[in-house]
Amino acid sequence: MYEGGCLCRFVRYRARGRPRHETVCHCTICRRASGAPSMAWFTVAVSDFEWLAGEPRTFQSSGHGRRAFCPRCGTALTFWSKREPGLIDVTTCSLDEPECVPPRDHTQTAGRLSWDKSGDGLPTFRGPRPATGDHRA
Ligand SMILES: [Zn+2]
Ligand SMILES: [Zn+2]
């Protein structure tokens, strides 16, 4: 069980099940959406995710993806793609305990900024993680 929410605590959520696809994404859309060099994500089944409080706003962030954020404070919360409608990505750093879901790799590093050097030794993929196909953007 994982709980989290936005900075102002208007929006709260809960995710069940085992997180998958834990990654740090370096794509340009994540950069713009967060105002940060990269975003950490994990994935759960849509059926294992629920909003507990507040009402997030969503916007279409690409041809296939929608992102949800807090309409009051702007915290980025989730990503959903019609390419994999049964899954939802959650921003790791909106968790109450982000240490519990550490990233296992870096994805979309073709767009990584030259000064964004983590040195954490995790595997890197220039695009999406090969085994899981494309779903972040
Ligand atoms: Zn908020
Ligand atoms: Zn991304």
**How far from the centroid of its chain's Cα atoms is residue 40's Cα?**
6
pLDDT digits 0-9 by tens, 116-130:
998 899 999 999 877
Ligand 1 centroid distance, CA of 134 (Å): 29
What is the rounded distance in angstroms from the CA atom of residue 71 to the CA atom of residue 62? 19
18: left (phi over 0), alpha (psi -120 to 50) or beta: beta
pLDDT mean across residues, the chain: 93
| Cβ burial, residue 89 (10 Å; 0-12/13-18/19+) | buried
Q: What structural domains and CATH numbers belong to the chain?
A: 2-111 (2.170.150.70)
* Closest ligand, as measured to the CA of 12: 1
* Closest ligand, as measured to the CA of 33: 2
Ligand 2 centroid distance, CA of 73 (Å): 21
Model-wide pTM > 0.95 = no
What is the rounded distance in angstroms from the CA atom of residue 14 to the CA atom of residue 95? 9
* Closest ligand, as measured to the CA of 109: 2
Ligand 2 centroid distance, CA of 32 (Å): 9
* Closest ligand, as measured to the CA of 62: 2
| Reported confidence tier of residue 132, pLDDT bands at 50, 70, 90 | low
| Cβ burial, residue 10 (10 Å; 0-12/13-18/19+) | middle
Q: Are 51 and 12 in contact (CB under 8 A)?
A: yes
Bridge partners of residue 39, in order along the sequence = 25
pLDDT digits 0-9 by tens, 63-83:
999 999 999 999 999 999 999
* Closest ligand, as measured to the CA of 29: 2
For residue 80, what pLDDT is reported?
96
What mean pLDDT comes out for the span 53-67? Answer: 96
Residue 62: pLDDT over 50: yes
In this structure, of 23-32, 33-42, 111-120, 128-137, the range with the lowest mean pLDDT score is 128-137
